[in-house]
């Protein structure tokens, strides 16, 4: 199968893994079956060097979160000139801010940034960095690179999207209730089961996650359309690609719409009340991106009016969704509590990306998954 052209110069997992193995690190990715589809590990799209380390001779300090001894040994082998501080409290971190060259984004508070003049790298352990970029001190400091986990959740969230969608299209919620009662009841559930084959899937945001959603949609026999911010051809399993300018027209022609965009100034409220009501009647909306991409009141209205066929939400606005919120009781809704990316595979991919970035940090090589702070992702 043709891989997506990589204007971002994405590094295939197997190459990255062999790098890690060459350095004596454990790399689970190196054990994959030959021929398996392996989404890329890390993007060089905005890659940049955080600190010139004179070929690894300069000593650096990175403040990590909780890292166990075994993993700390692996990291020390990969980046021998990087001293790792681990598991400090916020107060302890602040007291040592002056020593820091890099930090886990969980420590990147305004106070720490103000007290850390040497700081050159912040590593977020999430793909979305909307909350990290809400710290103005980080946005303002051009010399501090922010890297994220963009793309690391793709395979798992791709699975989760179809798990939620199939619950609605195959009536699994209704059959599940009958099973819980121990009842063999073959009568049609209130919402008649439907097939995905031949339906049109619109993926909004064809990045790390969107690509995996599109790949699975193609395998289900769907006609896959995708919208990206930057116009470019998609992979072979995407039948048509467009830009945000196509959104209104394409929403009206799609049966399943999956939101895979980051939360930015451009995407906040992207699925407005008007757009929700302009979707094809009976369409399913899936949001695994961020809650505020969708107008929640408009969504409830479109569901209650029976305009939307259903919604699958791993993220909501607000979050957590409060008890008694109308979305809990809206018809044909599947809600999971922001867990779509959880799996051992995501954990391994996140770990491998961090190992590789720490190695690059120490070696003075360009970091992967550098965020464009102005664009917000
Ligand atoms: N539910 C969860 O637990 C969970 C877990 C991980 C991530 N997420 C969310 O999912 C988002 C995407 O993650 P990812 O790993 O797929 O990131 P990614 O690889 O950076 O992909 C983002 C994609 O969105 C596109 N995009 C950006 N702005 C757009 C716009 N205005 N209109 C249309 N497309 C736009 C980008 O297009 P270009 O390439 O053209 O710039 C890119 O293809 C994250 O930012 C995060 O908010 C949620």
Mean pLDDT of the chain: 91
Nearest-angstrom CA–CA distance, 209 and 87: 30
Nearest-angstrom CA–CA distance, 250 and 199: 13
Confidence (pLDDT) at 37:
66
- Residue 81 near residue 56, CB atoms below 8 Å: yes
Distance 151 CA to ligand 1 centre (A): 8
CA torsion sign for 309, 314, 319, 322 is positive
Strand-pair category, 240-242 with 333-335: unpaired
pLDDT reading at 330 higher than 70:
yes
Confidence (pLDDT) at 36:
60
Tokens of 241: 């690609």
Confidence of residue 70 (pLDDT cuts 50, 70, 90): very high
Confidence (pLDDT) at 25:
36
Domain ranges of the chain: 60-151+346-363, 154-335
pLDDT reading at 12 higher than 80:
no
Burial 205-220 (b: 16+ CB within 10 A, else e): bbbbbbbbbbbbbbeb
Which of 6-15, 185-194, 367-376 has the highest average model confidence (pLDDT)?
Answer: 367-376
Distance 294 CA to ligand 1 centre (A): 14
Confidence (pLDDT) at 39:
77
| Ligand 1 close to Cβ of residue 150 (< 6 A) | yes
Q: Which DSSP state fits 108?
A: -
User: At 244, phi and psi to the nearest 5?
Assistant: -55, -25
Confidence of residue 97 (pLDDT cuts 50, 70, 90): very high
Query: What is the second-level CATH architecture of the domain 154-335?
Result: 3-Layer(aba) Sandwich (3.40)
- Residue 335 near residue 316, CB atoms below 8 Å: yes
pLDDT reading at 297 higher than 60:
yes
Do the domains 154-335 and 60-151+346-363 match in fold?
Answer: yes
Catalytic residues: 290, 319, 338
Please tell me the class of the 60-151+346-363 domain: alpha beta
Nearest-angstrom CA–CA distance, 249 and 233: 19
- Calculate mean pLDDT across residues 97-102: 98
| Ligand 1 close to Cβ of residue 187 (< 6 A) | no
| Ligand 1 close to Cβ of residue 228 (< 6 A) | yes
3-class DSSP assignment, residue 121: strand
Nearest-angstrom CA–CA distance, 31 and 12: 14
User: At 25, phi and psi to the nearest 5?
Assistant: -85, 155
In terms of residues, how long is the chain? Answer: 377
pTM for the model: 0.91
| Ligand 1 close to Cβ of residue 151 (< 6 A) | yes
pLDDT reading at 14 higher than 90:
no
Non-local CB neighbours of 26 within 8 Å, separated by 6+ positions: 20, 74
Confidence of residue 202 (pLDDT cuts 50, 70, 90): very high
Nearest-angstrom CA–CA distance, 293 and 265: 10
CA torsion sign for 216, 217, 218, 219 is positive
- Calculate mean pLDDT across residues 53-79: 97
Measure CA of the first residue to CA of the last residue in the chain; give whole Å.
28
Nearest-angstrom CA–CA distance, 377 and 370: 9
Please name the residue whose Cα sits nearest to atom 25 of ligand 1.
205
For the chain, give the percent of residues with pLDDT over 70: 90
Mutate to test the pocket of ligand 1, among 46, 129, 146, 209 (most ligand atoms within 8 A of CB): 209
Give the model confidence (pLDDT) of 147-179 as tens digits: 999 999 999 999 999 999 999 999 999 999 999
- Calculate mean pLDDT across residues 202-222: 98
């Amino acid at each position: 199968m043709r891989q997506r052209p990589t204007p971002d110069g994405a590094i295939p997992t197997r190459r990255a893994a062999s790098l890690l193995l060459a350095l004596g690190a454990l790399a689970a990715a190196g054990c994959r079956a030959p021929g398996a589809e392996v989404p890329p590990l890390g993007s060089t799209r905005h890659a940049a060097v955080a600190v010139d380390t004179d070929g690894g001779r300069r000593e650096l300090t990175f403040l990590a979160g909780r890292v166990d001894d075994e993993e700390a040994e692996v990291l020390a082998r990969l980046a021998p000139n990087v001293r790792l501080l681990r598991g400090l409290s916020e107060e302890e971190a602040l007291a040592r801010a002056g020593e820091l060259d890099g930090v886990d984004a969980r420590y990147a508070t305004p106070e720490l940034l103000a007290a850390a003049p040497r700081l050159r790298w912040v590593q977020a352990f999430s793909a979305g960095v909307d909350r990290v970029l809400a710290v103005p001190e980080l946005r303002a400091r051009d010399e501090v690179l922010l890297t994220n986990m963009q793309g690391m959740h793709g395979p798992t969230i791709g699975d989760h999207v179809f798990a939620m969608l199939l619950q609605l299209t195959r009536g699994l919620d209704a059959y599940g209730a009958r099973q819980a009662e121990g009842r063999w009841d073959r009568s049609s559930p209130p919402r008649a089961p439907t097939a995905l084959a031949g339906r049109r899937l619109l993926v909004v945001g064809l990045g790390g996650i969107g690509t995996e959603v599109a790949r699975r949609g193609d395998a289900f026999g769907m006609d896959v359309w995708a919208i990206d911010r930057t116009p470019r051809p998609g992979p072979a399993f995407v039948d048509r690609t467009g830009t945000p300018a196509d959104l209104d027209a394409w929403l009206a022609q799609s049966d399943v719409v999956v939101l895979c965009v980051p939360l930015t100034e451009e995407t906040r409220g992207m699925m407005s009340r008007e757009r929700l009501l302009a979707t094809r009647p009976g369409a399913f909306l899936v949001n695994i991106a961020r809650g505020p991409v969708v107008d929640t009141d408009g969504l409830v209205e479109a569901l209650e009016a029976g305009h939307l066929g259903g919604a699958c939400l791993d993220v909501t606005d607000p979050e957590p969704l409060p008890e008694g919120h109308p979305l809990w009781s809206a018809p044909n809704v599947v809600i999971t509590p922001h867990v779509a990316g959880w799996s051992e595979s995501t954990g391994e991919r996140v770990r491998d990306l961090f190992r590789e970035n720490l190695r690059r940090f120490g070696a003075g090589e360009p970091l992967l998954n550098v965020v464009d702070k102005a664009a917000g992702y």
